[in-house]
Amino acid sequence: MAKKGILVLMMVALMVLVGCEEGDPRFNEIINQSWVQDGSYWEDGAGNSFAYMYDEIEDNYFIDIHCMDGGINYLCYIDEFNFADGQIVGNYTYVDPLETEETISRGPISVTMSFSYAGGTLTITYSGPGTLYDVLDGVTMNLQIPSES
């Protein structure tokens, strides 16, 4: 009887370990639109950009956003997100370029990104909580693939 109990316990432990390796299925759903796919990079002439990439080391998708506000470049990073119905919902973080110390991060800050694509231009509209450090709320970017610029 003890052998069966140990065998059952080992099987349960194995199932838990296998389940943990798959990660949380709510995050980083693949964006596979004709206009945004793995490795996509979009930019405009003002320094704004959007990149959707796969990190082989972390085995995870992520999004990099450069958002220009005057002469200030905010580098925003999203590593947990959902994609559904043409929108991304996630949280972004950035290192605050206005701080004297280079390591002060802001976030995570919730953001919803709505996409539209027409005539070679990807339009992304960001909406967030509108808090003090929310640099993406209300921003709209009209981006193109650099070779098409």
Q: Please, which pLDDT band fits residue 7 given cuts at 50, 70 and 90?
A: very low
pTM for this model (two decimals) = 0.75
Instruction: Name the least confident of 27-31, 38-42, 131-135.
Output: 27-31
Report d(CA 82, CA 80) in Å as an integer: 7
**DSSP H/E element including 84:** strand 72-84
Question: Lowest-pLDDT range, 51-60, 61-70, 91-100, 133-142?
Answer: 51-60
**Burial environment of residue 90 by CB neighbours within 10 A (0 to 12, 13 to 18, 19 or more):** buried
